[in-house]
């Protein structure tokens, strides 16, 4: 199962980076979501033991336990990722209201057209 998790995390990172490098801000937003999910999956994959440790139930005579710290880190990362996603959605909405586009090339191309000096008569 560790191989499948590694492949899935690699695919999430690959598609996430591809989306972040696009011109559309909506695709960039989707890329950030994919990157955060890939990072969470990597942390989760590092926390498990392929030998099969037990869950951390405290009882006498139990074997080795799984470390709960990575799960706590993932939970924190999910909350931070949701806050980042919320901020980026509001920022994208504000960009769309101000400039009527979600394309980065169109956004930075318009001021250059307006800044051209007029030819003298």
In a domain, 56, yes or no: no
In a domain, 77, yes or no: yes
In a domain, 119, yes or no: no
Please give the chain's pLDDT, 121 residues, in tens.
Answer: 688 999 999 999 999 999 999 999 999 999 999 999 999 999 888 876 656 555 555 666 666 666 778 889 999 999 999 999 999 999 999 999 998 989 988 887 755 555 566 667 6
Q: What is the pTM of this model?
A: 0.76
List the CATH number of the domain containing 44.
1.10.287.3510
Task: Return the structure tokens found at 69.
Answer: 């710290």
The per-residue pLDDT for 33 is: 95
Tell me the helix, strand and coil percentages in the chain, rounded to 5: 70, 5, 25
The per-residue pLDDT for 9 is: 95
Is 19:27 a contact under the CB 8 Å cutoff? yes
Which range marks the domain in which residue 105 is found? 2-51+66-114
Is 66:56 a contact under the CB 8 Å cutoff? yes
The total of structural domains in the chain comes to: 1
**DSSP letter (8 states) at residue 56:** -
Separation of alpha carbons 84 and 48, rounded Å = 27
In a domain, 58, yes or no: no
Place of tokens 């499948």: 4
In a domain, 110, yes or no: yes
């Amino acid at each position: 199962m560790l191989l499948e998790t590694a492949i899935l995390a690699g695919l999430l990172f690959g598609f996430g980076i591809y989306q972040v490098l696009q011109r559309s801000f909506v695709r960039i937003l989707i890329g950030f979501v994919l990157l955060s999910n890939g990072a969470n999956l990597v942390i989760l994959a590092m926390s498990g033991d392929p030998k099969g440790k037990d869950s951390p139930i405290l009882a006498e005579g139990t074997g080795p336990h799984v470390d709960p710290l990575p799960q706590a880190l993932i939970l924190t990362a999910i909350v931070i990722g949701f806050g980042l996603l919320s901020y980026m959605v509001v920022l994208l909405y504000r960009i769309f209201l101000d400039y009527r586009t979600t394309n980065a090339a169109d956004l930075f191309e318009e001021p250059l057209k307006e800044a051209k000096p007029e030819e003298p008569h």
